[in-house]
Structure 1
């Protein structure tokens, strides 16, 4: 999502990115997203509009970059001591955060970006969180479903419902997690 060369890992580039991201977030707390312009962001960040255009290309790419950064997990999933419970706690929090008004706006921004790299990054963030849960479960000797199966059986249905305007409730999320966990420990057959 950054410009064609990509941002350097530190120095001025990192300071510009942090300043511009902060400006976007500040402006979006004061006004509607549709009102925010690159010249406004530049003024708030203390950079020239050409700096923003050169690095991000257009406002949609910039908003997607900000959204990806905000969607990056800032902590490991909770460790309850049981893989299925860890997954349930994570999935409930994920559904709640993504279905919130800011969560939905960030999803829209990421999906509207032209190059698609933001969506790929967000998918990787989610997979990494599930991999942490899976590794802990496996480290305790618990069976845990394949990460891709969790993405297909838990994450995808949650995102689908959010994208089409429905907030998945905790009962639905619990059913999704139960279904995924049954891939490794099937429910007993009815008698």
Structure 2
């Protein structure tokens, strides 16, 4: 799924996206990301640079789109049968993903693109799955924005700007603050 909304799925559009994404992934294995150019990617993908600019607008948005596709979850968040345990498992997975080199690159690419809210949309969706299950079990729910503020924001900030990312124990303490009662 491209970051740009409203792109028709299937057909030529899907083939172009798949080809361009594959070209980016291959080129990133061969060279440093700082040396990537739209003409290189277009040549490798068999499209014109204008196709890439028309669809993604800029290199940063394309790199963000490729990075986001890599980290989109393949499965729903773990269902342990209890909200706190579900959120702890999700927090652990999120910390592992975001502090990895691909995760750091994803954050940099998304922040430099015109679509920084796209990751928040994905994270809200994951958290909503967890909260919907907890609600069906009759558990008291925290606000999604509170979870984003207390779990995601410190993880992103400390991963990008602090000397070290947060520890899992620090995030568990923040999770305790986020949960009702």
CA deviation string 1:115-148 (max 9, x = no partner):
3x2x212101101111111111111111121111
- Structure 2 match to 1:55: 55
Query: Which of 1 and 2 has greater Rg?
Result: 1
Which of these residues, 119, 123, 139, is aligned with residue 142 of structure 1? Answer: 139
Distance between the aligned counterparts of 2:6 and 2:66, measured in 1?
Answer: 15
- Structure 2 match to 1:9: 9
Distance between the aligned counterparts of 1:170 and 1:61, measured in 2?
Answer: 30
CA deviation string 1:50-106 (max 9, x = no partner):
322232233122112222323332221101111101001101110110111110111
- Structure 2 match to 1:188: none
Distance between the aligned counterparts of 1:138 and 1:61, measured in 2?
Answer: 36
For the 8 Å contact 2:67–2:102, the answer to whether it is kept is no
SS in structure 2 of the partner of residue 96 of structure 1: helix
For the 8 Å contact 1:72–1:122, the answer to whether it is kept is no
For the 8 Å contact 2:151–2:174, the answer to whether it is kept is yes
- Structure 2 match to 1:64: 64
CA deviation string 1:15-62 (max 9, x = no partner):
101110111111112211012122221222122223222322331221
TM-score (norm 2): 0.90
Which of these residues, 146, 165, 168, is aligned with residue 166 of structure 2? Answer: 168
For the 8 Å contact 2:23–2:41, the answer to whether it is kept is yes
For the 8 Å contact 1:19–1:45, the answer to whether it is kept is yes
For the 8 Å contact 1:104–1:162, the answer to whether it is kept is yes
Gaps of 5+ in 2: none
| Residue 119 of structure 2 corresponds to residue 122 of structure 1 | yes
For the 8 Å contact 1:71–1:122, the answer to whether it is kept is no
- Structure 2 match to 1:189: none
CA deviation string 1:133-184 (max 9, x = no partner):
1111111111121111111111111111112142222111211212212xx1
Distance between the aligned counterparts of 2:143 and 2:61, measured in 1?
Answer: 33
| Residue 93 of structure 2 corresponds to residue 93 of structure 1 | yes
1:75-114 aligned at under 5 Å gives the runs: 75-113=75-113
Distance between the aligned counterparts of 1:41 and 1:25, measured in 2?
Answer: 10
TM-score (norm 1): 0.86
- How many residue pairs were aligned? 178
